[in-house]
Chains A and B, each alone.
Chain A
């Protein structure tokens, strides 16, 4: 009925996932607006940095 296909690269999928989860964590984990923004940005950066870092660590074993 509403089934629209979504075509995302692996990196874009990781960014969307990290963004949604970071926003939810920030809303649930912090009380003030400033605290939430800081937490969400920090969480998003860590998600992406750790994701890319693990990808680079696994690269030698990928072929």
Chain B
């Protein structure tokens, strides 16, 4: 029992790095952080939820904000959108005809895309807490 102490101490020293890695993975691909932490169910459903919101948002031709927004709401929109990780960077492929916020559907799509990012941000925080030992 006493021989495990150095191993446990070494693992505890690595926890912040593991937690950071899990958070980055969770941001990059929704659910990947939980997958690395062997939380299979959470990983699958998080990916489906974030992916569903993003794909439907793009399908409704919602607007994905970029860094060049001139107003604060655009900057907040960019932050929310960027949190969806790979779905932000796949935007041009998933929305080949571009956004159309002149219709109500496009406006709803913008909310879907922001929602996808915010939900993934919760996933990132959850993966970080699990990896750092603050949550089961």
Using CB atoms and an 8 Å cutoff, list the residues of chain B in contact with chain A. Answer: 41-42, 45-46, 48-50, 52-53, 55-56, 58-61, 93-97, 104-105, 108-109, 111-112, 115, 119, 122-123, 126, 136
Contacts and interface: CB of A to CB of B under 8 A. Distances in A.
Contact of A17 (B42, B105, B115): B115
Q: What secondary structure prevails in chain B residues at the interface with A? A: helix
Q: Kindly name the residue among A3, A20, A25, A26 whose own CB sees the greatest number of chain B CB atoms within 10 A.
A: A20
A7 B53 contact: no
22 contacts: A1-B93, A3-B94, A3-B95, A5-B59, A6-B55, A6-B105, A6-B109, A7-B105, A8-B60, A13-B108, A17-B53, A19-B52, A20-B49, A20-B115, A21-B53, A21-B119, A23-B49, A24-B119, A24-B122, A27-B42, A28-B126, A33-B41
Nearest to A40: B45
Contacts of B48: 20, 23
A61 interface: no
B72 to A, nearest CB: 24
B117 to A, nearest CB: 12
A62 interface: no
Nearest to B90: A2
Interface in A4-49: 4-8, 10, 13, 16-17, 19-21, 23-28, 31, 33
Given A10-B108, A24-B123, A28-B122, A16 B52 contact: yes
For the complex of A and B, 3 pairs with smallest distance between CB atoms: A6-B59, A3-B96, A24-B49
